């Protein structure tokens, strides 16, 4: 059974047979195309492949029916798929045949149910079997387990370090602690409830998730949000990027014991959040992006507040960047620390500052023609090659400059008009849509199917962290364990976005 | 040069720190009254807080972080975050308590010496919030450890968090 599925927008979805699926996996393994997403349904597996180099660049979505609950593993030949397939097995009971890792991923044996999203979930005892970490052999090696509860105010996850003296010879991550079952809660949810769930997948990227979800729903239903709404979305997205990057630059320096940067960046971050509160009524701008447009507007006072914000950060931040660049004790910690090689970033399709600090220029605001209003805005996507903590700091510093310029452009050119159109479900028809939205840490991928009643039948949200967490394991190798917090913060992957 | 300039400016400008929040929230006042006055005397004006993310979306953590910035300056009230539950008087817990975090939360609570208080921050921590009913969530901190104070909000603003925490040390 092959052929194109109707009502899947904006890129087509094709049914593949098993050989076609395996050919796609082999192409990924050969570096032709980038794995964008891989997700399950009770009797079906899907993958999205980004093909930027093709004659007609685009995204290809392939689906394989799995009536017997099995599909050929992509992870068998293409490592970036491994954790995604472990999650598909845990959640949907789909067996990736040939997957080299038999261990569970989000399922810690605590749910009281196995394969909760499959057609027939099975009761399972709550007994939390011991998780077998990969064996390590060698003289003089010792293990350091860290987490899930960490020393700082950060999300929970477990890190298992194997060290030779101070040097880390291997890090293995164990995640899934904050798995909330968001995709399960999405099933059968009305669109507005589903949008609120999407907005709480990773709170630091709530605007980006809002945009990804809304755009996927709008694509499915063939709805165009009004121009003013599209521009207000971008305005909020850039404010979110500014707030996060400012927070991160400060926090990275703080992890290198340079508290002054932390204090000053913290002030600028707080200014962004206060401006967001003034303009949009919520410091993180949660639930302001909705399918059909935005649930807020911007008045003259708001515009003035944002212009003042841009002026203040524009005046103060360059000096902080200069301070970073001239503080030898700080650079000593960040330069040549935690290197991600460009070939690894490319292979994993790492987005955001992790990818761009290692030579991968992908930015969904730009790629494949971009999405509105970015196709009408001027901005640069900074790219560096070094791949170290310093490069990840510099990508953020440069992106802060770009976001300030974007906010200014948007304020200058913000179109008038309505900010929301009614979202009429396509009653009686199943519809599917997908979208990318550029969060501060990379692209959020959203895919959904709306049932004939307009409710969400299935929604998959893939955080950029899925393809960044594995690179952190590689980046810390041969670094001293004391540099781990610094490396980790320079990535700033989302636990919640990944665990879902 | 940039360092000296930044320091000088810091000395010459007025601090950005907000005035202390007014403790005028009737709901918090009610909760505050319920807290044992004797225990409050023992705590004095110092509170060591251990934050535990029990499945949050990380929105609550962002605002808890903001308590440390120059505007909110948590430490001027004698409140500070500590790295270990063994040093803590208060557990500040966020999230709907995922089943995968339940044991870690219980163990953190047990590791915290008596007398101790648990503050559940954010709508999720109260009853699971938007995640209530999921196969993967317990749904609320009180289902796992005894809770002394709830702070509403999604996420609660730093000011709301500050007001809530201050009711632990100040009779409203
Ligand atoms: S209360 Fe809101 S912000 Fe806090 S963890 Fe829950 S969803 Fe996130």
**Residue B16: pLDDT above 90?**
no
CB pair distance less than 8 Å for A201 and B57: yes
Closest-CA distance of chain B to residue A498, Å = 11
pLDDT in tens, A369-387: 899 999 999 999 999 999 9
pLDDT: which is higher, B134 or A453: B134
- The CA-based dihedral angle spanning residues B80, B86, B92, B93, taken in that order and rounded to the nearest 10 degrees: 150
Segment B117-146 mean pLDDT: 97
How many angstroms does the Cα of residue B153 sit away from the middle of ligand 1?
8
B162 in contact with A, Cβ within 8 Å: no
Residue A199: C-alpha distances to residues A290, A378, A475, B63, B168 (Å):
10, 27, 30, 16, 32
Q: Is residue A1's pLDDT more than 60?
A: no
For A249-259, the pLDDT digits (tens) are 999 999 999 99
Tell which residue, B63, B72, B112, B90, has the closest CA to residue B168: B90
**A140 pLDDT above the threshold of 60:** yes
CA-proximal residue: ligand 1, atom 5 (nearest): B56
> Which tokens in the block code for residue A258?
């340079």
**Ligand 1 pocket, B105 CB below 6 A?**
no
> Class assignment of domain A3-119?
alpha beta
B102 and A156 in contact by Cβ < 8 A?
Answer: no
Q: CA–CA distance from A360 to each of A34, A77, A349, A367, B50 (Å)? A: 11, 22, 8, 12, 39
Mean pLDDT confidence for A55-61: 88
Tens digit of each residue's pLDDT (9 = 90 or more) over A20-53: 999 999 999 999 999 999 999 999 999 999 998 7
Answer yes or no: is pLDDT of B33 > 60.
no
Count of A–B CB contacts within 8 Å?
Answer: 154
**Ligand 1 binding pocket includes B95 (Cβ within 6 Å):** yes
Higher pLDDT, A169 or A128: A169
Q: Ligand 1 centre from A224 Cα, in Å?
A: 30
Q: Is the CB of B20 under 6 A from ligand 1?
A: no
Nearest Cα residue to A473 out of A160, A145, A165, A249:
A160
Beta strand pairing call for B117-121 and B90-94 = parallel
Identify which has the larger pLDDT, A56 or B120.
B120
Q: With an 8 Å Cβ cutoff, is B51 touching chain A?
A: yes
Task: Check CB contact of A122 with chain B, cutoff 8 Å.
Answer: no
Residues of chain A with C-beta less than 8 angstroms from the C-beta of B3: 260, 323, 326-327
Confidence of residue B37 (pLDDT cuts 50, 70, 90): low
Residues A294-312 have a mean pLDDT of 97
Backbone angles phi, psi at A149, to 5 degrees: -85, 120
Given this model, what pLDDT does residue A428 score? 85
Domains of chain A, by residue range, sit at 3-119, 197-464
Instruction: Give the mutation target among B61, B121, B122, B150 for probing the ligand 1 site: most ligand atoms within 8 A of CB.
Output: B122
Strand partners, A216: none
CA of B124 to the centre of ligand 1 (A): 6
Q: Measured from the CA of A200, which atom of ligand 1 is nearest?
A: 7
Its pTM stands at 0.96
Mutation pick from B7, B53, B94, B112 vs chain A, by most beta carbons of A within 10 Å, is B53
pLDDT in tens, A234-246: 999 999 999 999 9
Measured in degrees and rounded to the nearest 5, phi and psi for residue A188 equal 80, 0
Pick the CATH number of A197-464 from 3.40.50.300, 3.30.365.10, 1.10.8.60, 1.10.645.10: 1.10.645.10
Among B124, B126, B128, B137, name the best residue to mutate to test ligand 1's pocket (greatest count of ligand atoms within 8 A of Cβ). Answer: B124
What are the pLDDT digits (tens) for A390-438? Answer: 999 999 999 999 999 999 999 999 999 999 999 987 778 999 999 999 9
Q: List, as ranges, residues 98-127 from B with C-beta within 8 Å of A.
A: 98-104, 108
**For ligand 1, atom 2, which residue shows the shortest CA distance?**
B154
């Amino acid at each position: 059974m092959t052929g194109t599925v109707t009502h899947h927008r904006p890129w087509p979805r094709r049914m593949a047979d098993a050989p076609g699926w395996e050919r796609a996996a082999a192409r990924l393994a050969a570096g032709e195309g980038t794995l964008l997403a891989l997700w399950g349904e009770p009797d079906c597996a899907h993958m999205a492949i980004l093909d930027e180099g093709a004659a007609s660049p685009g995204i290809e979505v392939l689906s394989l029916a799995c009536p017997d609950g099995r599909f050929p593993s992509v992870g068998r030949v293409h490592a970036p798929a491994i954790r995604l397939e472990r999650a598909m097995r845990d959640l949907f009971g789909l067996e990736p045949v040939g997957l080299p890792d038999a261990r569970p991923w989000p399922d810690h044996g605590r749910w009281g149910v196995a394969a909760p999203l499959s057609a027939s979930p099975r009761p399972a005892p709550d007994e939390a079997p011991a998780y077998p970490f990969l064996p390590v052999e060698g003289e003089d090696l010792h293990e350091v387990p860290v987490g899930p509860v960490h020393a700082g105010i950060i999300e929970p996850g477990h890190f298992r370090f194997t060290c030779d003296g101070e040097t880390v010879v291997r890090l293995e991550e164990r995640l899934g602690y904050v798995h909330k079952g968001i995709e399960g809660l999405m099933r059968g949810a009305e669109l507005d409830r589903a949008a609120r769930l999407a907005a709480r997948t990773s709170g630091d990227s709530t605007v980006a998730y809002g945009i990804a979800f809304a755009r996927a729903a709008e694509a499915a239903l063939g709805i165009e949000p009004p121009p003013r709404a599209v521009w207000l979305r971008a305005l909020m997205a850039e404010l979110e990027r500014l707030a996060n990057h400012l927070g991160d630059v400060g926090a990275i320096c703080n992890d290198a014991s340079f508290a002054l940067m932390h204090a000053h960046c913290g002030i600028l971050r707080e200014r962004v959040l206060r401006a967001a509160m003034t303009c949009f009524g919520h410091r993180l701008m949660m639930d302001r992006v909705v399918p059909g447009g935005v649930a807020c507007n911007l008045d003259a006072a708001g515009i003035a507040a944002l212009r003042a914000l841009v002026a203040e950060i524009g005046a103060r931040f360059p000096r902080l960047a200069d301070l970073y660049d001239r503080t030898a004790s700080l650079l000593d910690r960040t330069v040549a620390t935690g290197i991600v090689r460009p070939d690894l970033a490319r292979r994993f399709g790492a987005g955001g500052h992790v990818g761009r600090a290692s030579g991968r220029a992908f930015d969904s605001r730009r790629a494949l023609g971009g999405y509105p209003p970015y196709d009408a805005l001027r901005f640069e996507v900074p790219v560096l090659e070094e791949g170290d903590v310093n490069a990840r700091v510099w990508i953020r510093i440069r992106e802060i400059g770009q976001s300030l310029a974007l906010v200014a452009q948007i304020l200058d050119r913000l179109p008038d008009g309505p900010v929301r159109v009614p979202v009429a479900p396509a009653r009686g028809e199943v519809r599917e849509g997908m979208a990318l939205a550029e969060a501060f840490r990379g692209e959020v991928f959203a895919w959904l199917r709306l049932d004939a009643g307009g409710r969400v039948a299935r929604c998959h949200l893939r955080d950029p962290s899925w393809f960044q967490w594995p690179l952190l394991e590689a980046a810390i190798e041969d670094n001293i364990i004391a540099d781990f917090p610094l490396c980790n913060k320079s990535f700033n992957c989302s636990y919640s976005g990944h665990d879902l | 040069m940039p360092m000296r300039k930044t320091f000088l400016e810091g000395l010459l400008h007025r601090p950005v720190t907000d005035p202390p929040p007014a403790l005028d929230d009737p709901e918090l006042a009610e909760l505050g009254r319920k807290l044992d006055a004797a225990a409050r005397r023992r705590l004095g004006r110092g509170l060591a807080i251990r934050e535990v993310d029990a499945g949050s979306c990380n929105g609550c953590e962002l605002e808890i972080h903001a308590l440390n910035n120059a505007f909110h300056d948590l430490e001027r009230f004698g409140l500070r975050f500590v790295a270990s539950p063994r040093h803590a008087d208060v557990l500040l817990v966020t999230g709907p308590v995922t089943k995968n975090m339940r044991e870690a939360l219980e163990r953190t609570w047990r590791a915290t010496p008596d007398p101790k208080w648990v503050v559940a921050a954010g709508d999720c921590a109260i009853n699971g919030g938007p995640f209530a009913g999921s196969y993967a969530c317990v749904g609320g901190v009180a289902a796992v450890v005894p809770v002394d104070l709830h702070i509403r909000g999604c996420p609660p603003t730093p000011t709301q968090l500050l007001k809530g925490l201050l009711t632990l040390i100040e009779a409203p």
